[in-house]
Amino acid sequence: MTPPLPSPPPPSPTSPAPASLTARLNAPARFLLGLGVLMAFAALGQALVGALHLPLPGSVVGMALLWAALGTGLVRLHWIGDAADGLLGILGLLFVPTTVGFLQFLGAGAAWGVWLLIMTAGLLLGAGAAGLLASRLLRPEGSPDHPEGRP
Amino acid sequence: MIWLTVTLLAFAGGVLAQLRVRSPLANPTLIGTLIVAALLLLTRASYGTYLRDVQPLTTLLAPAVVALAVPLYRLRALLARQWRALLLGGLSGTVIAVAADAGLAQVLRVSPEAARALLTAPATSPVALQLAPFTHAPPALAATLAVLSGLIGALILPPALSALGVTHPLARGIAIGAVAHGVGTARAREEGELTGAASSIGMGLAALSVTLLVALLA
């Protein structure tokens, strides 16, 4: 007769051995592991863009490569999840150095008014068309997390 | 070091302001940019000096963009089911924005340099930078107009899409990302992970389609 309550931890069918090893890392160490993996893919994307002379940003190519690596199981989501969420949480901060660059062109003076007007019109027309077209093409489904999700 | 400190505190101030004020203008990137720009002007520090100081932030931008793969992967089943809406919506948005920028620049007699720089504004600033040799635009101006376009999009597009009756997170996200790329995606993520994921798809598609358009036209 075996007791009904198992005293040793049962072999977990959901997480294989390597997963539990990284799960034992403390949060900062796991963050650093994730950051390292993200930087590796950024560098990989950069190298690929340079070697193939692609007119694309290396980081966008790196994003596609990481997506493929997650899909094939080469990279596990829990290695990078915390680091990704952390970086994306401050994504808006990382653009400030570039946006401040408008200071280099203050000399353009009144031309800025026309530039901003054109950009605003382009944004509204493009996003308006995209939003309306996508709304029309969306397949109805009882998606779990959108407010109007009545199938 | 001092400008890195200023940038971090200015952005944190923007986040705090956003918690207090419910206005689309209470955007951390906008507030951070304005505070930093005002201090740079006051102290007569050059943009080059500033850029050297905040190098760590610029370095983190590439892994942050790579990290956009994570929400895309988490939501892959849902996104795959809606690929038609995302692909066609995103491509049409970017192409219309590029056409509108080009057409209006012609009509309003913008200087040739600015007109060429405006062409790539619907793509993320690294793309604008890399396409500058092909469009013959001043690279710094192209990158600046691109990132400012993203910032303006982050401010005006969420209320504009609501006014148009675009309520579905996927439709809102793809529309924002297709024209307002990085800063827009940061804003879209505030609405939820689904909106943010759709926006990063729009941003990736815009990088591809603007590159193709420039290759075809230049």
What confidence score (pLDDT) does residue A124 get?
Answer: 97
Number of domains in chain A: 1
Q: Provide long-range contacts, Cβ within 8 A and 24+ apart, for A109-118.
A: A111/B110, A111/B111, A111/B114, A114/B108, A114/B110, A115/B110, A115/B114, A115/B118, A115/B145, A116/B148, A116/B152, A117/B104, A117/B108, A118/B100, A118/B101, A118/B104, A118/B105, A118/B108, A118/B110, A118/B118
CB B134 to CB A55 under 8 A? yes
| pLDDT for residue A38 is more than 60 | yes
What confidence score (pLDDT) does residue A18 get?
Answer: 54
A33-60 burial by CB neighbour count: b if 16+ within 10 A, else e? bbbebbbbbbbbbbebbeeeeebbbbbb
Given CA atoms B137, B143, B146, B148 in this order, what sign does their dihedral have? negative
CA within 13 Å, CB half, A57: 27
Over residues B194-203, the mean pLDDT reads 93
Per the domain annotation, does A151 fall within a domain?
no
Instruction: Calculate how close chain B gets to A44, using CA atoms only, in Å.
Output: 11
Confidence category of residue A51, pLDDT binned at 50, 70, 90? very high
Confidence category of residue A1, pLDDT binned at 50, 70, 90? very low
CB A57 to CB B185 under 8 A? no
What confidence score (pLDDT) does residue A6 get?
Answer: 47
% residues pLDDT > 90 (chain B): 74
| pLDDT for residue B216 is more than 90 | no
Please give the mean pLDDT across all residues of chain A: 83
Range of the domain at A58: 24-93
Mean pLDDT highest for which of A18-32, A116-130, B18-32, B132-146? A116-130
pLDDT in tens, A87-133: 988 988 998 999 998 999 998 888 999 999 999 999 999 999 999 99
**Nearest CB to B168: which of A35, A94, A135?**
A135
Contact of B4 with B60, CB cutoff 8 Å: no
Per the domain annotation, does A38 fall within a domain?
yes
| pLDDT for residue A16 is more than 80 | no
Per the domain annotation, does A111 fall within a domain?
no
Cβ neighbourhood burial of A7 (10 Å; 0-12, 13-18, 19+)? exposed
Per the domain annotation, does A59 fall within a domain?
yes
